[in-house]
């Protein structure tokens, strides 16, 4: 019986998991499974702005550092999440004037990326900059204060901070071809023309039975821009309680998404957004839905695990 990790290593892909620092430090079962089954880690919360710069100029890297240390002990890479977002960003940032906000953004990107240079090789530079309606830019405080140029500006600061890092634009509901992914495509194309972006992160918070039929073509069009793609936050939620048929459908869905990445040279990998179902953000935000991950609450692999394993070529 091979692991996800061994199978992914064999085909040169990342298989990642979003991790919680407290569980990593305090739960040996959690730690062992994360180390055994995955070759890449993303901080679920610990590298976000409210964690790394809660007060202006006061940087706190303890949580992110604990994840990096764990990853290094276990020969895992770390995907950085995230530098510029509208959520989990302290109010002190949101209340700045335009000039102050731009310089705070530069200082944040520079300081965080400098701190992790050599340890974190890929970054979600901007997260969720496109809205859910008509592909308009999200009407965030970033856009309101700085105008649409803030996106390219963030990538320029990131490129300058760590020229060796792969820089991603990351968003949800961009797995299918449609207004939102079209806008991401246009933004990515503009950034690619200036050599400011290296990849597109498709979060892939999916609904059972709804892997988009256009997902393969969508990934391909980003690759055709010369970019990498990455499935950055995969989970597939089920109306609760989940029955056997639903778990079988979930297996097929996980397998399909993972195969799309495995079959695409320029797809760097797949990260699942949490270890066990009980670790997931989904039930908090979508009451009545859940069971969206690869392991049950007792650390046992679900059918979805076998789907991912098969897609990675493991048995």
Nearer CB in complex with ligand G3I: 172/295: 172
Tokens of 38: 């995955």
**Residue (of 278, 277, 269) closest to 250 by Cα position:** 277
Q: Which helix (H) or strand (E) covers residue 98, if one does?
A: helix 98-116
> CA–CA separation, 144 vs 126, rounded Å?
16
22 part of the interface to ligand G3I, by CB under 6 A? no
Considering the complex, what minimum distance in angstroms separates the CB of residue 2 from ligand G3I? Answer: 28
Helix (H, G, I), strand (E, B) or coil at 78: strand
181 part of the interface to ligand G3I, by CB under 6 A? no
Nearer CB in complex with ligand G3I: 242/293: 293
Nearer CB in complex with ligand G3I: 203/218: 203
Number of residues that bind ligand G3I (CB under 6 A): 9
- Which residue of 77, 203, 218, 249 would you call a contact of ligand G3I, by CB under 6 A? 203
Give the Å distances, CA to CA, from 180 to 101, 207, 269, 275: 26, 17, 22, 28
DSSP strand pairing (289-290 vs 228-239): antiparallel
List all residues 6 or more positions away from 169 whose beta carbon is below 8 Å from its beta carbon.
Answer: 124, 125, 126, 129, 151, 184, 187, 188, 191, 197, 199, 200, 201
Decide if 233 is catalytic. yes
Considering the complex, what minimum distance in angstroms separates the CB of residue 226 from ligand G3I? Answer: 25
Considering the complex, what minimum distance in angstroms separates the CB of residue 255 from ligand G3I? Answer: 22
- Which residue of 26, 56, 87, 194 would you call a contact of ligand G3I, by CB under 6 A? 87
Phi, psi of 154, deg, nearest 5: -60, -40
- Which residue of 141, 281, 286, 299 would you call a contact of ligand G3I, by CB under 6 A? 281
Tokens of 182: 């079209």
**Torsion angle of alpha carbons 87, 193, 233, 144, nearest 10°?**
10
- Which residue of 53, 233, 246, 277 would you call a contact of ligand G3I, by CB under 6 A? 233
Tokens of 75: 């020969």
Nearer CB in complex with ligand G3I: 86/256: 86
Considering the complex, what minimum distance in angstroms separates the CB of residue 233 from ligand G3I? Answer: 5
Nearer CB in complex with ligand G3I: 174/309: 174
For the segment 24-83, give every residue that binds ligand G3I (CB under 6 A).
Answer: 44-45
Of 37, 175, 233, 259, the active-site residue reads 233
Binding map of ligand G3I across residues 211-230, x = CB under 6 A, - = no contact? --------------------
Tokens of 225: 């821009």
279 part of the interface to ligand G3I, by CB under 6 A? no
Task: List the alpha helices (DSSP H) in 224-313.
Answer: 244-262, 282-285, 303-311
List all residues 6 or more positions away from 74 whose beta carbon is below 8 Å from its beta carbon.
Answer: 34, 35
For residue 219, how far is the Cα from the chain centroid? 15
For the segment 91-120, give every residue that binds ligand G3I (CB under 6 A).
Answer: none
Considering the complex, what minimum distance in angstroms separates the CB of residue 172 from ligand G3I? Answer: 6
Residues identified as active-site: 233
In the complex, the residues that contact ligand G3I under the rule CB under 6 A are 44-45, 87-88, 127, 172, 203, 233, 281
């Amino acid at each position: 019986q091979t692991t996800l990790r061994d199978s992914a290593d064999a085909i040169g892909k990342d298989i990642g998991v979003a991790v919680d620092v407290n569980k990593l430090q305090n739960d040996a079962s959690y730690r062992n499974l994360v180390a055994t089954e995955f070759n890449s880690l993303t901080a679920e919360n610990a590298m976000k702005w409210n964690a790394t710069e809660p007060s202006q100029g006061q940087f706190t890297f303890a949580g992110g550092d604990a994840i990096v240390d764990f990853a290094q002990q276990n020969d895992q890479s770390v995907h950085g999440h995230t530098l510029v977002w509208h959520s989990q960003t302290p109010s002190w940032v949101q209340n700045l004037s335009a000039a102050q906000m731009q310089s705070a953004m530069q200082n944040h990107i520079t300081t965080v990326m400098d701190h992790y240079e050599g340890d974190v090789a890929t970054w979600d530079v901007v997260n969720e900059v496109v809205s859910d309606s008509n592909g308009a830019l999200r009407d965030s405080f970033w856009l309101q204060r700085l105008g649409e140029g803030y996106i390219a500006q963030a990538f320029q600061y990131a490129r300058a901070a760590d020229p060796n890092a792969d820089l991603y634009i990351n968003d949800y509901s961009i797995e299918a071809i449609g207004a939102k992914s079209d806008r991401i495509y246009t933004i990515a194309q503009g950034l690619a023309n200036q050599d400011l972006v290296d990849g597109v992160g498709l979060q892939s918070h999916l609904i059972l039975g709804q892997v988009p039929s256009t997902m393969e073509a969508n990934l391909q069009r980003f690759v055709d821009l010369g970019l990498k793609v990455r499935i950055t936050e995969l989970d597939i939620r089920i109306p609760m309680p989940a029955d056997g048929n639903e778990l079988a459908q979930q297996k097929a869905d996980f397998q399909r998404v993972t195969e799309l990445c495995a079959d695409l040279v320029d797809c760097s990998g797949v990260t699942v957004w949490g270890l066990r179902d009980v670790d997931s953000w989904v039930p908090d935000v979508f009451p009545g839905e859940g069971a969206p991950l690869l392991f049950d609450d007792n650390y046992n692999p679900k059918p979805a695990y076998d789907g991912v394993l098969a897609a990675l070529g493991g048995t």
